[in-house]
Amino acid sequence: MTGSPHVRRPATLASLAAELGVSRTTVSNAYNRPDQLSAPLRERVLEAARRLGYPGPDPVARSLRTRRAGAVGLLLTEALSYAFRDPGATGFLEGLALACEKAGTGLLLVPVSPEHSEVDAVYQAGVDGFVVYSVSEDDPHFQAVLQRPLPTVVCDQPTGIAGVDRVGVDDRAGMQTLGRHLVELGHRRVGVLCMRLGGQRHDGPADELRQKNSSYSVQRERLAGLRDAFAEAGVAWSDIPVFERFEHTTDAGAAGTAQMLEAHPDITALVCTSDILAVGALGEARERGIRVPEDLSVAGFDGIPEADRLGLTTVRQPFREKGREAGRLLLERGDRNTPEHLTLPTELVPGTTCRELRQSGEFFSGW
């Protein structure tokens, strides 16, 4: 193997040209336009480069000149490292990476730590465009992205940003379908456990005002879909307790479930607005000796692999495709000016965690 100490750039295109007694153009052409010079001359250049340890044109200088960075930036919610623990984000990343590979484009993960609230990193990113994955409407990093004169595509949220492409799913319709499913099974007294609705930490009941004012449209929409479904069955939304959790982890799901069950022990079903939370709910139920689905039905949203393994009733959404489409939208945009909006399909996945209410005629009135 090779093995230089990797110090400082030992040669430049200019020094190489000088050494060889040719012009910079010629050296540049040797790398970028092999057809613009004779084969022997090109070989001479490349040989000299090898000898002098010239690693080829400096990418930054080239980018400045060509106005192409050859990379797209990715802005994620939360800390960057969180993305690798969230199955949804991971799936999205996989799809996006696929698109980047195909285009030979780099993928720059913009460092967003909770501590540093500076948006500096966004302004520092040498990229040709941005993909934004599911951030709050008022996320300062996102606002910084909008300042940069670069094409941008948003996945999921925020929605309705002028001049910006978006790919997502119909969260409201998806959740409505799930809600109807529960209604059909006879459930009328349900609880809802949702993800964070605001930037400030809040764990506990979320009233309707809070729901409505949420800066996360995905959560707003999912709640609205559920409301729609139960309204159809004559159940007022104000009668359905909604609990919120700031963290998106199974632990948070468990804690939220505990809180819900203590406050509302009479619910027959617990709907979680994400599978992660639902997985936590299943754990908490087991912990408490509550049988699912005999004593309590549990449903999620997302369709992550673990949901599948556990037989969780959920709504599946195509994470990988969202990533692929986001990449495609960014990388294959011609000189389109009009923003595109892509809505991918979701699918109700009935599992084994929701049961039909038969005996307890109390809440069942279908006969």
Partner DNA sequence: ATGAAAGCGCTAACAT
Partner DNA sequence: ATGTTAGCGCTTTCAT
Interaxial angle between packed helices 217-232 and 171-184, expressed in degrees from 0 to 180 and rounded to the nearest 10:
30
Enumerate the β-bridge partners of residue 60.
Answer: none
Binding string, 6-45, against DNA, x = CB under 7 A?
A: ---x--xxx------xxxxxx-xx-xx---xxx--x----
Q: In this chain, which stretch among 22-30, 71-79, 201-209, 236-244 interacts with its own copies, using CB under 8 A?
A: 71-79
Q: In this chain, which stretch among 76-84, 204-212, 265-273, 283-291 interacts with its own copies, using CB under 8 A?
A: 76-84
**Residue whose CB is less far from DNA, 16 or 93:** 16
Sheet holding 190-194, edge to edge: 204-205, 242-244, 190-194, 269-272, 297-299
**Cα torsion 245, 248, 249, 253: sign:** positive
Distances (CA, A) of 205 to 155, 202, 230, 275: 28, 9, 19, 19
DSSP designation for 352: S
Tokens of 185: 């099974």
The listed partner (its own copies, DNA, none) that binds 186, CB under 5 to 8 Å by sort, is none
Interface residue with its own copies among 26, 28, 88, 95 (CB under 8 A) is 95
71 touches its own copies (CB under 8 A) = yes
**Residue whose CB is less far from its own copies, 194 or 252:** 252
Helix boundaries (H) for 148-248: 171-184, 208-212, 217-232
100 touches its own copies (CB under 8 A) = yes
Query: 313 and 190 in contact (C-beta within 8 Å)?
Result: no
91 touches its own copies (CB under 8 A) = yes
* Interface of this chain with DNA, residues 55 to 84, rule: CB under 7 A: 56-58, 61-62, 64-67
Tokens of 9: 């750039």
**Residue whose CB is less far from its own copies, 151 or 300:** 151
CB of 332 to DNA, least distance (A): 20
Q: Tokens 């020094």 sit at which residue?
A: 15
H helix count then E strand count, the chain: 14, 13
**Residue whose CB is less far from DNA, 31 or 363:** 31
Interface residue with its own copies among 60, 184, 343, 345 (CB under 8 A) is 60
53 touches its own copies (CB under 8 A) = yes
Tokens of 74: 């990715």
Encoded amino acid at 189, one letter: R
**Residue whose CB is less far from DNA, 36 or 213:** 36
Give the residues lining the site for DNA (CB under 7 A).
9, 12-14, 21-26, 28-29, 31-32, 36-38, 41, 56-58, 61-62, 64-67
